[in-house]
Amino acid sequence: MSDTYAMDGTYLTRLATRLRELGLPDGQVRETTADLAAHLAECGADPVAEFGPVEEFARHLAPGAAAPVPPAAGAETWRWTADTSVDEELLGRFGDEGWEVEGVDALGRFVCRRDRERPQRWEYRRELVSRGREGLDERLAPDGWEACGNWAVYAWFKRPRAASDGPAAELGGAPPAPPARRVFLGRRFYALCGVVLCAVAAAVVRDGGDPMSGLGLLTGLAAGALLPLGAAFALSRRR
């Protein structure tokens, strides 16, 4: 192991601090730095040589949290989010409407822009990156795919349809207006919520609502997990 890392882990400490400043959740920061520490311990590499400068590496890990770039003249922006059961379908639909994903922000929303005058169609793909990218960018680059965002264990890639469709990739006429909705949840999400609520109700009936029982504890945990999701969904619907 290199002296730089073995001494006190300063590199990872600075990286964790910068990732939090960029808006990544604490849980994701801890998981990321733990994986990086295990990698360094295994290969014994110097962290700067392995990952590059802290600031550059932090923005690579959290591209959507970087300082926002103001839209170009004649461009419009839109942010939206979806669960992973419908995000690929929606990315394809909105890509055909000329929306280009520029990144995923700290709240997990796709940050999109579209040229009002000459919008182009885009296509997208999602990849699982639970243990690092492992050369994924390099493998996809020859086919024109470019990274456009990360969230949790997923990475999204984009490419203009002009790469395969040529001039036909340009939208003809005025593009449709941005969707009024900003949150899109699939049937699987609601089904999961229904299953959890049924489990909570069954646990309450069985244990008489005893908060100290095992099932009572699970009930509290499940309800606590659903509350933020419900609040976020209600707020989005109100907006």
Q: Domain range holding 122?
A: 75-184
For residue 144, the Cα-to-chain-centroid distance in whole angstroms is 21
Domain shared by 85 and 35, yes or no: no
Share of the chain above pLDDT 90, in %: 22
Q: Is residue 31 part of a domain?
A: yes
Domain shared by 141 and 154, yes or no: yes
Q: Is residue 107 part of a domain?
A: yes
pLDDT digits 0-9 by tens, 21-66: 888 788 888 888 888 888 888 778 788 888 888 888 888 887 655 4
Domain shared by 88 and 144, yes or no: yes
For residue 88, the Cα-to-chain-centroid distance in whole angstroms is 13
Partners of 90 in the β-ladder: none
Domain shared by 157 and 223, yes or no: no
Domain shared by 163 and 213, yes or no: no
Crossing angle of helices 26-43 and 10-21, in 10° steps, is 150
Q: Is residue 66 part of a domain?
A: no
Strand order in 154-160's β-sheet? Answer: 122-128, 154-160, 146-151
Q: How many CB atoms lie within 10 A of CB 234?
A: 10
| Residue after which a domain boundary falls, among 165, 184, 203 | 184
Structural domain tally of the chain?
3
Cα separation, 10 vs 52, whole angstroms: 14
> Collapsing DSSP states into helix, strand and coil, what is residue 52?
coil
Task: Give the CA-trace dihedral at 100, 106, 108, 110, to 10 degrees.
Answer: -10
Using left for φ > 0, alpha for ψ between -120 and 50, and beta otherwise, residue 177 falls in beta
Residue 79 has a pLDDT of: 93
Residue 66 has a pLDDT of: 45
Find out whether 179 and 90 touch, Cβ atoms under 8 Å.
Answer: no
Q: Is residue 168 part of a domain?
A: yes
Cα separation, 100 vs 217, whole angstroms: 44
From first to last of the 239 residues of the chain, give the pLDDT tens digit.
333 333 346 888 888 888 888 887 888 888 888 888 888 887 787 888 888 888 888 888 876 554 444 555 568 999 999 988 899 999 999 999 999 999 998 788 999 999 888 888 999 999 998 777 778 888 999 899 999 998 888 999 999 988 777 666 778 777 888 888 899 886 665 555 665 666 655 665 665 555 555 555 555 555 555 554 554 444 444 43
